[in-house]
Each structure stands twice: as C-alpha cells, then as structure tokens.
Structure 1
Amino acid sequence: MKKYIILGVMAVAALSCNEKAAAPAKEFKTAYVDTSKLIEEYTEAKDIEAKYKAKSEEMGRELEAEVNRFKSEASNFQKNAQANGQAWAQQKGAELQKREQQLGYAQQAMLQQLQNESGAEMDTLVKNVKKFIKDYGKEKGYDYVFATGEAVSILYAKDSYDITKEIIQLLDDKYKNGPKKEDKPADSKDAKATEAKK
C-alpha cells in the first residue's frame, strides 16, 4: 500500500513539473552598455578630465616654481656653509629642512584637493548617467540593461544588444544642449556683490 501512495505522489509531482515546463517562457528585452567605453567617449566625462588635467598642470607649475627656489637656496647654502660658520649653517639648515617639509605637505594637499574635487564631479556624473540609463531602459521597454567594462556583470551578450553608442550619443546631445553650469562665487561676499549688480 505504501508503494502505491509513494508512486502516486511521484506521478503527481512529475505531472506538475511537466506542466510548469510546458508553460511558455517570457521573452526578455535586454541590452548592455560598455561602461569603460562610455566614460572614455562621453563628452562631459572628457570635459571633466580635461578641466582637472589643466588645473593640475597650473597648480603643478606654481609648486614647481617653489621647488626651484628651494633648490637654489639649498645650493647656495652648501656653497656658503663653510664661509658663514657652523651656527649659521645649523640655523639655515633647519630653515631649509622646514621648507622642504612644507613643500611636501603642499604637494600632498594639492593632490588631495584635486582628487576630492574631481572625484565629487565624477561621482555626480556617474549618478546622472545611471539615472539616464534607467530612464532610457524604461522608455525603450527593456527588462534588463547590463553593464560591461572594468566591472563585468555579464559573461556573454550578442553585439546586437550593445546600446553603448546610442547612450553616448544621447548623453552628449543632452550635455551639449543642456544649461551650462557657471562656477559659483567663492564666498558669500562675492555672491552678494553679484546679486547687487543684477
């Protein structure tokens, strides 16, 4: 009797599995975006990179001028150390060592400032691009839009699913036609002066 009950349960289970398997599978509309290529080719990302490269070069020139003055003083120190005596050499040596430390700190601060500023802008850019792609996916009726690039989240996709170029073009059009951002005044006095002029 137990055998018949077990066989009956197995038969019912097998039939229910077959019914589920026979149900038609839903087709998903999918696409993917190569995020490395997107960031490399998107005009706003290029503009941010160029902005901080120029800013880095400008700040680097200012720091380089300070470093060259320091090297000149250090060279003069070595020439004049014996002529001016040990007390002068110790005092001047301590001053030069302090300036060398200050130059190192200035360089670190400059790099940190550039990283913080560019990082904040790139984070905002990435956030806006993700929102854009999400809205685009909804509008076009995609079930999934995957990301490829440095952080791969799919292992295979047909090239026909790649919408990277279309996304870049639409983002570039939006960026070029959108309102231009103006730099904000550095402090509230500048902002008040600007408001007073209007």
Structure 2
Amino acid sequence: MKKSLLIIALAISVISCNKEESPVSKEFKTAYVDTVKLMEEYTEAKDLEAKFKAKSESEAKKFEVEEANFKAEVANFQKNAQANGQAWAQQKDAELSQRQQRLQYAVQSASQKLQMESATEMDSLIKGVKDYIKNYGKEKGYDYIYGTGDAATVLYAKDQYDITKEVIKLLNEKYAKSAKKEEETKK
C-alpha cells in the first residue's frame, strides 16, 4: 500500500512539474537566409559587382594600349639594335627594362587599389544587409535567423523556415527607393 501511494505521489509530482513552463522548453521562432542566393539576387550587390567589373575592364583597356606601345617600342629596339651600336643598345635596353617595371608596377597598383575599393564597398553592403536582417528579425519576432551558404552556420533546416526570398524582395525594394531618391536629388 505504501509503495502504491509513493508511486502515485511521484507520478503526480512529475506531471505537475511538466505542466510548468520552463524557459528551456519554449519553442523558438527561427528562420534562415541562404546568403549565397541573397548576394546573387540582391540588386545592390549586382550593381556593385557590375560597377567594379566595368572599372576593371576600363583599367585593363588603358593598360592594353600602354602594353601595345611598349611591345612596339621593343620590336623597334630589336630591329635597330645592330644598326645603332652596342652602347646604344645597352642604354636603350636599360630604359626599356625600367619602363617595363614601371608598367608592371602601375598595373599591380591599379589592381590593388580597385580590389581595396571593391572590398570596402562590399563590406559596407554586407554590414547593411546584416543590420537589415537583424532589424527584420526583431520586427517579425524571430528568436534566431541563421545564415546558410558558403559560410554555412546551419547544417539542416526545413524549407518552411527559409525567408531568403522575402528578405531579398524587401532589400531590393529598399534599394530601389534609395536609388530613386538619389536620382531625384541629382536632378
């Protein structure tokens, strides 16, 4: 009899403990964003990529002209080296070597400058996206929003938690509004 009373008392206490809400057993509102897809489909990111691609192509064309001129000068040097003598050839060779080094340095310098400028603007864009997602999460009442993609922080998530499309849509709308305002202020 004592054993059955003890078992009933123990069962009642376990049941009553389970009815209390513990903060650990609370369900969290979670979602995730596919960061690769986000950067591929976000208009501002596409515009930034196109901007730096155009700058890179412009710089490349500028250096292509200089390189063609340099190659023509080298060909002219090789053609006239014997006719103008060894002293002239050595002096001209030294000048051409210096010019080649300056050209290589200019190409490298322009490339590094472009990369730094691109990285700075991309960092700014990413910070803005992170801030936007943080505010979005607060506004929508999420406890967690995870990122997936190249630097995945989620190994699995149900598709129902994917808010990537919604975030892309809202970011693109925000960017379009700011681009429109910028155009209006330029006029």
Sort the TM-score into its range (normalised by shorter chain): 0.7 to 0.9
Against the structure 1 CA distance between its residues 50 and 80, is the aligned structure 2 distance closer, same or farther, given a 3 Å change threshold?
Answer: same
Aligned-partner SS, 1:28: coil
Tell me the amino acid that sits aligned with residue 131 of structure 1: D
- Report the Cα distance in structure 2 between the residues aligned to 1:120 and 1:52, rounded to whole angstroms: 12
Specify the alignment match of 1:85 in structure 2. 85
- Report the Cα distance in structure 2 between the residues aligned to 1:45 and 1:37, rounded to whole angstroms: 11
Specify the alignment match of 1:112 in structure 2. 112
Tell me the amino acid that sits aligned with residue 180 of structure 1: E
How far does the alpha carbon of each residue in 1:50-101 deviate from its partner, in whole angstroms, 9 at most, with x for none?
0000011111111110000000000111111011000000000000000110
* Equivalent residue runs for 1:107-146 within 5 Å: 107-146=107-146
Tell me the amino acid that sits aligned with residue 150 of structure 1: D
Aligned-partner SS, 1:180: helix
Tell me the amino acid that sits aligned with residue 163 of structure 1: I
Q: Tell me by how many angstroms 1:155 deviates.
A: 1.0
Aligned-partner SS, 2:182: coil
* Equivalent residue runs for 1:2-41 within 5 Å: 22=18, 23-24=20-21, 25-41=25-41
Instruction: Give the % identical residues.
Output: 61
Tell me the amino acid that sits aligned with residue 81 of structure 1: A
- Report the Cα distance in structure 1 between the residues aligned to 2:112 and 2:94, rounded to whole angstroms: 27
Give the unaligned 5+ runs of structure 2.
1-9
- Report the Cα distance in structure 2 between the residues aligned to 1:111 and 1:62, rounded to whole angstroms: 12
Does residue 1:172 correspond to 2:172, yes or no? yes
TM-score of the superposition, structure 2-length normalised? 0.84
How far does the alpha carbon of each residue in 1:125-178 deviate from its partner, in whole angstroms, 9 at most, with x for none?
000000000000000000000000000101110001000010000000000011
Against the structure 1 CA distance between its residues 181 and 90, is the aligned structure 2 distance closer, same or farther, given a 3 Å change threshold?
Answer: farther
TM-score of the superposition, structure 1-length normalised? 0.80
Against the structure 1 CA distance between its residues 132 and 85, is the aligned structure 2 distance closer, same or farther, given a 3 Å change threshold?
Answer: same
Against the structure 1 CA distance between its residues 27 and 66, is the aligned structure 2 distance closer, same or farther, given a 3 Å change threshold?
Answer: same
Give the unaligned 5+ runs of structure 1.
1-13, 183-198
- Report the Cα distance in structure 2 between the residues aligned to 1:46 and 1:36, rounded to whole angstroms: 12
Aligned-partner SS, 1:147: strand
Q: Tell me by how many angstroms 1:180 deviates.
A: 2.1
Against the structure 1 CA distance between its residues 85 and 151, is the aligned structure 2 distance closer, same or farther, given a 3 Å change threshold?
Answer: same
Q: Tell me by how many angstroms 1:19 deviates.
A: 8.0
